[in-house]
Structure 1
Amino acid sequence: MALSSAACGGDGGAGEGGFRVGLLLPSRALPRWEHSDKPLIESGLKRLCPDCTMEYANAENDAARQRQQISTMITRGVGVLILDAADTRALRSSIQEARRAGVPVVAYDRLAEGPISGFVSFDGGEVGRLQGEALLKAMGPGASGRTVVMMNGDPTSPNAAWYRRGALSVLEGKVKIARSYETLGWTAHNAHDNMSAAIAALGPDRIDGVLAANDAIAAGVISAFKKAGVRNPPPVTGQDADLEGLRRIVRGEQDMTVYKPFGKEAAAAAAMAVALGRGEEADEVATTTIDSPTTKDIPSVLLKPNAVTAADIEKTLVRDGVYTVEQICTPKLRRACDRIGLTG
């Protein structure tokens, strides 16, 4: 294959049998990218390919910047790219550039368009279903017919639509979706503005639940209710198991989050990148295939997410070593942690 020379110490070499792997993440808006994904992928690469090195770039939510970062890495001779696209459509030309240069691209977390060689993520439909099911349960008996606001993710991310479809598969026909918003940049600030508009339009007492696509959006939703003087907001979902999201769950402000074991995702991405960099097929790692708008039968790994409520924190995130009880239970939250049995 065209990749063999890079894998064996050509321009992409980093010692015998090694090569350079480019990791491109989309932003710093979510804590997980810098705090979890980057170090986990780097350690996974080192474990599988001790002579490999990793080059890293963060797009700061700027697709044009990420295009330049990809071009720079190709010019510097990386053997393979792991790409979480800041904009999955806008990066198509860069992925085509990589293909022309003989550099395979593993799409990470978001399904990028263009000739990618593999894809690693979590099952987005299942994420949405878990959120929808948790919201119905939190609203209690008689949830049918109640009013829900949907606070979706960034429309440039295919994951946002994936999550939304999964949630609607549970909610449609059971609740009234009074408002539905897209959250540019997945930011708490934009979510706050959208939720404030929903509260003004509907009235706070007429909102029975909020399907928030992730924890940053949940933070904006909850802050909007607080600003509107609502002391006991309705159930609010989340995703990503951010530390602050878990603390809101402990306080009783947020009902749940979705935990996606990033270690498994990072390990799968590292394994696929190493296989491709060595001139092997992504099928060696993939467990299924998926279609993008531009490419059919992409070798893929789609992992299973987990719903987390207050009762699940210790047996999921603490057990897996993502956080310690001490990190979650600040002195101000100690009594709340004791109430839910989060004692370490």
Structure 2
Amino acid sequence: MRILPARVRRVIGVLVAGLLTASLAAACGGDDGAGADSFTVGLLLPSRAVPRWEHSDKPLIEERLKELCPDCTMLYANAENDAARQRQQMISMITKGAGVLILDAADTRALRSSIQEARAADVPVIAYDRLAEGPISGYVSFDGGQVGRLQGEALLKAMGDQAHDRNVVMMNGDPRSPNAAWYRSGALSVLTGKVRIGRSYEIQGWSTENAHAHMSAAIAALGPERIGGVLAANDAIAAGVIAALKSAGVRPLPPITGQDADLDAVRRIVKGEQYMTVYKPFRAQATAAAAMAVALGRGEDVRDIARTNTDSPTTKRIPSVLLTPTAVTVGTIEQTLVKDGVYTVDEICVPELRAACEKAGLLR
């Protein structure tokens, strides 16, 4: 095969006193088009507090990148909920020659200047899951308003006729994430006027420990008998809520929502401790992000992939892929998570859950 020299692809930034200086990085390509270019994609995820980042998103993105561009390489970093660390990780990746970055920002505002620096270095940035501020080249996520609506609708259904007489505790996500406000708005669009919001908290870092502390405060303030349901923004928060309720001796547990379909949360749903979670098909999200990254790395238009646009506080008409989430309760685990290959029945139905799984129809 005759190898032709490819165009000079990217400027590699080196930060000096807060500024990036440029050098050139070259890529080479074959004569057969797809998969011929070789360049580096940087993947930056925000934390390990939410299991999906390491267990689902990272391997799925890496797998899809290799399928779309066999000669491409991937750099990976996790910010551990530290925006300053993520900024340094971005700089390091650009310095090492990353041609495209996929960024799930630990703090969507704090990373704005870093995204501007990436743009100055001719390195496009794809916002993954959370819409970061700055000159983003593409955005892949789920409809956050629908996530909140699914949670609110499930909570109303679970509370039944008692909904208007009981308090709901809102355990919202990290205020540094625009998704948290999006979820909350969607949930309130369903709950407002139908329940009484007894307490509302913002859970820094989506932390189980912080959720436990705030839920303990809500129990003390309201009294356990006056809590009719808990709108927990995700499964890590739900875990803290459930632990606090158990510690306070609350039986039976009120209905509790979640999000992300973490394996532990699915098992809690089977046990009857958590009422529902929101499943966001991670493979579709990872596939879209990888496709965007490869297109941008090859200098192609991502609008063939992104069929809608999203505005951030700083950038208008960002090419976007917004996927559809799905509510999961004990009766729908099999036709959603098991059917899609997220988990097997054996993974969910550990020995201590066999009786509960039989009751749920997962074991026959």
Same fold (TM over 0.5): yes
- Count of aligned positions: 340
Secondary structure at 1:103 match in 2: coil
Max Rg structure: 2
Secondary structure at 1:30 match in 2: coil
Match of 1:132 among 146, 149, 152: 152
User: Does residue 189 of the first structure (1) align with residue 203 of the second (2)?
Assistant: no
Conserved? CA contact 2:7–2:27, under 8 Å? no
Which one-letter code corresponds to 1:213 in the other structure?
A: A
Secondary structure at 1:21 match in 2: strand
**Which has the larger strand fraction?**
2
In structure 1, the residue matched to 2:238 is 218
Using the size of structure 2 for normalisation, the TM-score is: 0.91
Q: Any idea what the Cα deviations from partners look like across 1:179-227, whole Å, max 9, x if unmatched?
A: 0000011011000000000000000000000000000100100111111
Return the alpha-carbon distance in structure 2 between the equivalents of residues 339 and 12 of structure 1: 59
Residue 55 (structure 1) shift: 0.7
Match of 1:96 among 92, 98, 116: 116
Secondary structure at 1:181 match in 2: strand
Match of 1:239 among 232, 255, 259: 259
Return the alpha-carbon distance in structure 2 between the equivalents of residues 12 and 250 of structure 1: 53
In structure 2, the residue matched to 1:292 is 312
Q: Any idea what the Cα deviations from partners look like across 1:264-284, whole Å, max 9, x if unmatched?
A: 000000001111111112212
Conserved? CA contact 2:27–2:38, under 8 Å? yes
Residue 4 (structure 1) shift: 5.3
In structure 2, the residue matched to 1:5 is 8
Residue 143 (structure 1) shift: 2.0
User: Does residue 202 of the first structure (1) align with residue 205 of the second (2)?
Assistant: no
Match of 1:155 among 158, 175, 180: 175
Which one-letter code corresponds to 2:255 in the other structure?
A: P
Q: Any idea what the Cα deviations from partners look like across 1:55-107, whole Å, max 9, x if unmatched?
A: 11111111111100101111111110000001100000100000000000000
Aligned counterparts, 1:14-25, within 5 A: 16=30, 17-25=37-45
Q: Any idea what the Cα deviations from partners look like across 1:119-149, whole Å, max 9, x if unmatched?
A: 0000000000000000000001342343101
Secondary structure at 2:331 match in 1: helix
Return the alpha-carbon distance in structure 1 between the equivalents of residues 146 and 357 of structure 2: 29
Using the size of structure 1 for normalisation, the TM-score is: 0.96
Identity %: 74
Match of 1:325 among 345, 348, 359: 345
Conserved? CA contact 1:145–1:174, under 8 Å? no
Residue 152 (structure 1) shift: 0.2
Return the alpha-carbon distance in structure 2 between the equivalents of residues 310 and 145 of structure 1: 26
Q: Could you say what the CA RMSD is over the residues aligned between the two structures, in angstroms?
A: 1.4
In structure 1, the residue matched to 2:270 is 250
In structure 1, the residue matched to 2:70 is 50
Conserved? CA contact 2:79–2:85, under 8 Å? yes
Secondary structure at 1:67 match in 2: helix
In structure 1, the residue matched to 2:129 is 109
Which one-letter code corresponds to 1:153 in the other structure?
A: G
Secondary structure at 1:131 match in 2: helix
Structure 2, unpaired ranges of 5+: 1-5, 11-23, 31-36
Which one-letter code corresponds to 2:114 in the other structure?
A: S
Which one-letter code corresponds to 1:39 in the other structure?
A: P
Return the alpha-carbon distance in structure 2 between the equivalents of residues 267 and 145 of structure 1: 45
Check 1:58–1:15 CA distance in 2 against 1; reply closer, same or farther (3 A cut). Answer: farther
Match of 2:332 among 312, 318, 323: 312
Aligned counterparts, 1:80-95, within 5 A: 80-95=100-115
Which one-letter code corresponds to 2:90 in the other structure?
A: I
Return the alpha-carbon distance in structure 2 between the equivalents of residues 231 and 132 of structure 1: 22
Return the alpha-carbon distance in structure 2 between the equivalents of residues 45 and 183 of structure 1: 33
Secondary structure at 2:197 match in 1: strand
In structure 2, the residue matched to 1:122 is 142
Secondary structure at 2:139 match in 1: strand
Match of 2:90 among 70, 94, 102: 70
Q: Any idea what the Cα deviations from partners look like across 1:219-241, whole Å, max 9, x if unmatched?
A: 10011111101121110000000
Conserved? CA contact 1:12–1:78, under 8 Å? no
Return the alpha-carbon distance in structure 2 between the equivalents of residues 119 and 307 of structure 1: 23
Return the alpha-carbon distance in structure 2 between the equivalents of residues 228 and 172 of structure 1: 28
